[in-house]
Amino acid sequence: MRRVITTLAILLVVVVAGMTALVLLVNPNDFRAYMVQQVEQRSGYRLALQGDLRWHVWPQMSILAGRMSLTAPGAAQPLVSAENMRLDVALWPLLSHQLQVRQVMLKNAVVRVTPDSATQTPKNAPQAPRNAQPASSSNGWSFDIGQLKVADSLLIWQRAGGEEYNFRNFNLNLEQDARKQATVALSTSLSRNQRNATVNLKGQLDAAHYPHRLSGKISQLDYTLAGANIPPQGIKGTLSLEGSWQDDNQQFSVSNLQLVANDTTLSGHAEGSLAVPQHLALNLHATTLNFDNLMANAPVPETQGAQHAVVARAPVIAEPRLQNNADSQLNTLDLLLQLRADNAVWRGLTLNNLQIDASNQQGLMTLNTFKGTSGAGSFSLPGTIDIRQPETRVNLRPELQQIAIQPLLKAFELPESLQGTVTLSGQLSGTDLSVAAAKSRWQGSAEISASDLRLAQINLQQMVRRAVARVSNRVSSDGNEEQGIKQIAGKMVLDHGQLTFSDLNGNGNKLALQGKGQVNLVQQQLDMTLGLNLTGWSGDEKLVAALSEQAIPLRIFGNWNNVQYSLPVDQILRDRLQSEAKSRLNQWIDRQQDNDKNQNMKNLLRP
C-alpha cells in the first residue's frame, strides 16, 4: 500500500512539474499573431485581442484573454465582443508546437447580427470563387476548434430596415467533430413591448458544406410566451423539425415539422426563399387547432362561480408606436398556405374538417378555399383581404348551410336569443378584419333563411292565443302549445352596423307570418314587425274568420337587453266588433227604411 501511494505521489509530482515547466517554457502570447492570422485567413474576419494572454492550468489547461472582438470585413461594428475569453487547449499537442483548441468560451459577450455587423464588400472588388479553399499554412502548426460556449451573453438581431431585438441570457453550447457534425444547445429570453419569451433548444447541425449549405435538425425546442395582449394562460409548447439552408440562392426548406402550442398541434413542411421577393410555401395539418387559446381577444367561456383571468395589457406609457399595414411582413412576401384541421375552435365555435387554401401576393391575400363543417351544417368563406393600403380592405362571399344560430350569435357577441339553423348566401365588404369592425364598418347583402327558429322566452302562438282570450271569450283555440317557426326566408342588408330585413315570409304550426325590420348592431336597438296569421280557432264564426284571415301585427322593439312588445289583438277584435255592429245597425236601418217605404205605398194605394 505504501508503494502504491509513493508511486502515485511521484506521478503527481511529475505531472505538476511537467505542466509547470510547460507554462514556464511556452508563452501563450506567442500564439496571438498566429490566431489572428489564421482567423483572418480562414474566414476573413478580424480578431482583436487586448491585454496579455495567460495560462490557466486547473481544472483544464486554458489560455485566458482579456477583451476581444471579432469583426467582419468592412463591418462598422464587431460581430462578437466580450470582456474575457477562455481557450481550452489540448496539452500534448503543445509539446510539438501545435495549438489545438478544444473549446472557446465567451462570457458576458455581445453578439450582433445586424446590418452594421454584416460583411460589406467594397465596390468593384474582385470576387473569389465561392468554392475556393483557403490556403493552408506552411509553418507546421495546426488550428482546430472542437467546442464553442457562450454564457450569460446578449444577442442583438436586426434585419435591414427592421426593428432591433435583444435576446438576453443568451447561452450557446456548440460541439463539432472532424466531419463538421455539430450538436447545439441554446437558451435565451426576449422581452419587448411588455411581452416575454423564453426558448430552450437542442439540435444537430451539419456544417460540412458551410457557408454554401447548412442542414440540421431541431430535436426539441421548448418555448413560452407571456405578457401584454397574449392569452392570460400564456402560450407554451414544443417544436421539432428538420431543415436546410442554401446560401447561394437564399433558399430554405423545413420537413417533419411538429409544433405544439397550448392544446394546438400542427405538423407539415415548408419551403421558401429570403431573396427579394421573399417566398414562403406552407403545408400544414392540425389534429387540433384552438384559436381561442392563441388569441388574446378571444371570448372567455362563462363558467358559473369561476373567476376569469384578465388579459394583461401594456400601460399607456409602454405602448409601442402605432402599427399599420406598412409594418406587415406580408407586404414583401409571396405566400402559399395549405392548412387542414381535423378539429378547430374559433370564438367558441366548434369547426370540423377545416380547409384553407390561401395565397398572398405582396399584401393581397386571396382565400381560394376557406370551408368546413360545424355540427350538422357547413360553411364556405372565400374572398380577398387587401393590406396594401393603410386600412385593411375585406371582400368575402359567405355561404352558410344549416349552421346553428345560437353559437354563431355568441361568437359575434350578440344576444343568444334565437335558436335554430341558418342558411345564407351573400356578399360582404368593409375595412379592418375584426368582429367589432364587421359589426360597425362592413356592408353587403344576402339571401337568408332559417329553420326551426325559436325565440328565447317567446311563444308566438301562445302569445296570440292568450291575447285573444283576454279580449273575448267567443273564440278559443285547440290548445296546442307548440312554438317556433319551421321555416322563414327573406333578404338582409348590412350597412355600417344597420341590419335591415325585408320580404320575410315564414310558417309554423298553424302559423303564417310576414315581416320586416331593422337591427342596429352598434346602438344595440331593434325594431321588427311581424304579421301573424294563426289558424285553429273555434267559436264565433265571424271572429274566427277575422282571426284566420287578418294578420295580427306583432312589433318587437327597443334595446335588446330590455325588449318591448306590442300585440294589439284587442284593437283588431274591437274594430271587428265595431264593424260588425255597424253592419248590423245599417242592416236594421235599411230594414226600417224598407218598412217605412212599404207603409207609405200602402197608404197611397188605400181608397
Kindly report, residue by residue over 524-534, the tens digit of the pLDDT. 999 999 988 87
Cell of 127: 470576387
Cell of 200: 430552450
The CA radius of gyration of the chain, in Å to the nearest whole number, is 41
pTM: 0.77
Question: Rounded to whole angstroms, how far apart are CA atoms 526 and 153?
Answer: 61
Average pLDDT over residues 317-323: 47
Residue 370, pLDDT > 90, answer yes
Question: Rounded to whole angstroms, how far apart are CA atoms 398 and 428?
Answer: 8
User: φ and ψ at 524, to 5 degrees?
Assistant: 60, 45
Q: 73-87, 338-352, 372-386 — which is least confidently predicted?
A: 73-87
pLDDT at 532: 85
Average pLDDT over residues 462-483: 72
Q: 235-249, 308-322, 580-594 — which is least confidently predicted?
A: 308-322
Q: Which helix (H) or strand (E) holds 371?
A: strand 364-374
What is the three-class DSSP state of 566?
strand
Beta strand pairing call for 143-158 and 99-113: parallel
Q: What is the pLDDT of residues 480-513, one digit of tens each?
A: 656 678 999 999 999 999 999 999 999 888 888 8
Question: Rounded to whole angstroms, how far apart are CA atoms 82 and 92?
Answer: 28
CB atoms within 10 A of CB 342: 14
Residue 52: CA count within 13 A, CB half-sphere: 4
Average pLDDT over residues 254-265: 94
**Do the beta carbons of residue 419 and residue 439 sit within 8 Å?**
no
The overall average pLDDT reported for the chain is 80
Residue 467, pLDDT > 60, answer yes
Contacts of 309 (CB under 8 A, 6+ apart): 232, 233, 300
Percent of the chain with pLDDT over 70: 76
pLDDT at 318: 44
Q: Which residues make beta-bridge pairs with 488?
A: 450, 506
CB atoms within 10 A of CB 348: 15
Of 412, 447, 411, the residue nearest 428 (C-alpha): 447
Q: What is the pLDDT of residues 273-319, one digit of tens each?
A: 988 788 999 999 999 999 999 887 766 555 444 444 444 444 444 44
pLDDT at 140: 35
Question: Rounded to whole angstroms, how far apart are CA atoms 570 and 565?
Answer: 14
Residue 478, pLDDT > 60, answer yes
Cell of 415: 344576444
